């Protein structure tokens, strides 16, 4: 599977944090930080917006690297992604993503 497809099936290539990082775009970092702060009810600063992708070597957004329960689970189970897990459709960790993002679920079903 493409290394820019996250463990959860999201497309890191389209992620605004990755785009801002790859382009070193501080204006975009500020916009992403403001939007994600509002959506998540936490303070995220432009300096926090640095990520090259969930499965790529290099810098990652702090939540994705250290707190994401999906990433932790996949790494613990030594799967390539959630699509390799028998519990995919009954998993509380990934339910929020696959219930609202058909593309992510389709990518995982392609394994």
Domain segments of the chain as ranges = 12-110
User: What mean pLDDT, rounded, does the chain reach?
Assistant: 94
Average pLDDT over residues 74-98: 95
Q: Tell me the pTM.
A: 0.86
Whether residue 85 contacts residue 77, with contact meaning beta carbons closer than 8 Å, is answered with yes
Per-residue model confidence (pLDDT) at position 92: 95
For 102, the 3-state DSSP assignment is helix
Sign of CA pseudo-dihedral 43, 49, 53, 55: negative
Q: Is the pLDDT of residue 1 over 60?
A: no
Q: Is the pLDDT of residue 111 over 90?
A: no
């Amino acid at each position: 599977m493409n290394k820019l497809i996250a463990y959860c099936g999201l497309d890191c290539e389209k992620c605004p944090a990755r785009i801002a990082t790859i382009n070193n775009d501080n204006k975009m970092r500020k916009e992403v930080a403001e939007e994600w702060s509002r959506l998540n009810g936490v303070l995220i600063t432009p300096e926090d917006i640095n990520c090259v992708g969930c499965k790529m070597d290099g810098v990652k957004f702090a939540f994705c690297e250290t707190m994401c329960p999906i990433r932790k689970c996949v790494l613990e189970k030594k799967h390539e992604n959630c699509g390799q897990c028998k519990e995919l459709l009954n998993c509380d960790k990934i339910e929020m993503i696959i219930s609202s993002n058909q593309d992510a679920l389709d990518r995982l079903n392609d394994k």
